[in-house]
Amino acid sequence: MEDKEKDKVKILVVDDRSENLLAMDKLLKPLGAEVHKVDSGEKALSEVLAHQFAVILLDVQMPGMDGFETATLLHSNKQTANIPIIFVTAINKDHNYVAKGYEAGAVDYLPKPIVPEILLGKVKVFLQLEEQRMELEQVTKELRWISRKNKLLLDCAAEGIVGLDDQGSVTFINPTACELLGENEQTLQDRHVSHLFFEGDDAEILKQWESSEIYKSCFQEGGHIKQSSDLIHSSKGHFPAEFNAAAIVNGQNKVQGAVLVFQDITERKAMEDQLTQMAKYDNLTGLANRALFKEFLQSSIARSDRHQAHTAVMFLDLDHFKPVNDELGHEAGDKLLSNVAQRLEGCIRQVDLIARLGGDEFAVVLDDVHNEDDARVVADKILHVMAEPHQLEGTEKKVGTSIGIALYPDNSGDADSLIKAADEAMYEAKRQGRNDFRFYSDLK
């Protein structure tokens, strides 16, 4: 039963409303697919790294990262670019809006309220394509592992292949494996496989090998394992690899050796890191974005509860930023924002966080502070560094900042209300003449 569940085709539904997720789950149930439901674009990006989906049903209007942003990120990444996306939305249906969805990478666009027959008909096509792909993948896998040792090695010649005897010594290695390991066949022949994974003296290496999952799965249990692990290149050091390892068992169920089939996944891991970077960091300044800001704030509040300390949130809005854009252009404006980001980073500790929330709005989370005086010191630093002029397009431009500050738990009991309090304090600073800071506690 477990294997059947694993082989089900998968659908990802993304909608910030729980009732919509439940309704969509009910609508899709007749298709017999495994439906994954998430309530944000950020969670969708994480989910596609962990699962292979036949199709994504994506809501457009969501807080934080909307559907267009989510689809654009998925479409721009090689690993996820080919997943079909169907936008499901109840808002604007004019041509330009729909065209924006297709430009973001969608293959179809369904307006709410959903007509069940249309939804099921469209999704069914992608499920059938995915089932065909899975069937082909399963046939390929079965052919590989039921063939004899030599045929298995030849079939997998495009990947690194290592054949082992019952003691774990190398009996066969293909050219791809030699290239990936930076070795030649002669030096690897009869070498113990543990030296491909571990460094140190022979006794220590063997000890690590005999406690590894691959040794237990193949040589002790006579089974197989799929795993990611670092391998050793002779001159470049460790590199990440993904491999299948299977025991070679005779008719008496005795282990005669094993086969390792592996590939270098350095590029794939780099793409995953890039996708994470795009999902949590601002592309222009390199600061945390709104999603990471809220995530960090929740964690900081949790730490404050444990340590009986305080968390301070500062909202910053640049004063007179728009004239810089209007007079010098957006490139100058972008340079100014990057300069501001660098200056702000010099005002906080490593345990704190700075985020760009959008436009010329920034936020700071001060972790584990004692009282308002700690936040006041940081606010004074920020006002001081912001007073220095910026060199833009051969001219000097000054922009100040208005700062609103709220403390947890003094001013609020949760992250959302703390954010709102800091925002209100920031607008009060603007009303009082700009280029200054206000505490939320002063508004009462």
**Residues 320-345 pLDDT 10s:** 888 888 888 888 889 999 999 999 99
Q: Which of 65, 78, 57 lies closest to 14 in space, CA to CA?
A: 57
Beta strands in 102-233 (DSSP E): 108-111, 160-165, 170-173, 224-233
Q: What's the mean pLDDT in 234-249? A: 90
Statement: residue 276 has pLDDT above 80? no
Residue range 139-182, pLDDT digits in tens: 777 765 655 555 555 555 668 888 899 999 999 888 888 889 99
**Token pair recorded at residue 315:** 């909202």
- pLDDT category at 1 given cuts 50, 70, 90 is very low
Q: Which of 269, 282, 261 lies closest to 214 in space, CA to CA?
A: 261
Residue range 55-75, pLDDT digits in tens: 999 998 888 888 888 888 888
3-class secondary structure, 323: helix
The answer to which of 49-53, 140-144, 251-255 has the lowest mean pLDDT is 140-144
- Ramachandran sector of residue 433 (left: φ over 0; alpha: ψ -120 to 50; beta: rest): left
Statement: residue 95 has pLDDT above 70? no
Statement: residue 272 has pLDDT above 90? no
Q: What's the mean pLDDT in 369-383? A: 93
Burial per residue of 118-149, b for 16 or more beta-carbon CB atoms within 10 angstroms, e otherwise? ebeebbbebbeebeeeeeeeeeeeeebeeeee
Statement: residue 286 has pLDDT above 50? yes
Residue range 5-44, pLDDT digits in tens: 457 899 999 999 999 999 999 999 999 899 999 999 899 9
Q: What is the pTM of this model?
A: 0.47
Q: Which helix (H) or strand (E) holds 254?
A: none
Q: What's the mean pLDDT in 182-205? A: 89
Residue range 97-124, pLDDT digits in tens: 677 777 777 788 888 888 889 889 889 9
Beta strands in 32-133 (DSSP E): 34-38, 55-59, 85-89, 108-111
